[in-house]
Structure 1
Amino acid sequence: MDSWIPYDDYPVVFLPAYENPPAWIPPHERVYHPEYNNELTQFLPRIVTLKKPPGAQRPQLGFNILGGKASQLGIFISNVIPDLDAHQAGLQEGDKVLAVNDVDLQDIEHSKAVEILKTAREISMCVRFFPYNYRQKERTVH
């Protein structure tokens, strides 16, 4: 017999409303529609490498993170400051941080993620653009 778990015992995750959803296009019109191109490569994981300048007391790479284990959604890039290192390396708002220097960040406390990012001199981040559930209240500036 399968064990039954009451519905009220499942964790609840509230996702924000999807902002500015694209207009729905009927499947038979998608092939020739100019706004529907099936381009999904922007959602594949990629590596972003950042180096902190030597001798800087508190070097700013130019991005904020939010999220963590408590949110059950992971660590996300919430803001990228234009023209700083993170922006020039291709980091963007909505990137989910999968790993930093081979440390898995998908189920890690927010404070631990901040510590890893602040203490490393060279940062190799594996990120994946996934802007659909990153807006939360917790923010940290780097």
Structure 2
Amino acid sequence: MKFLTILVALAATPTAATASETDVANPDAVRSMISAKVSSEIGAQWVPTALKIAQIESRMQCNPHGNTRHHGIFQVGDPARFGISPSAAHTCSGGIAAGVAHMASCIRMGANNARRMMICHNAGNPFARRVERAYRIALR
């Protein structure tokens, strides 16, 4: 009986992993994770753009359900191209890392402002002429 009581107590006690999973369900925690990663990797000037892209792509959900071809909070099509496995991209930190890596590649391709960054994220090229409706609305 004592052994069963200990097991029940251990099962009921939240672990560090459980607490961190609870934090990423909070949109403010996700915003701060994105802000920190973007600031450290590509610069603080890209934080508002990254937040807007994450809002359009997944509504700030770390593991959105839907299209299986795109992964994580930024809905990156091929996270392996940036050294992140598709399964890791479904975690909050992995999805953010894949999105920031994609933004960095857009900068290397010539995205020098928010408009070109958003076009590049959606179309794969900062100079593309056609983007999805959600991006056309955001770019107005």
TM-score with structure 2 setting the length: 0.25
More helix by share: 2
TM-score with structure 1 setting the length: 0.24
More strand by share: 1
Give the number of the structure with larger relative contact order, counting CA–CA contacts within 8 Å between residues 6 or more apart.
1
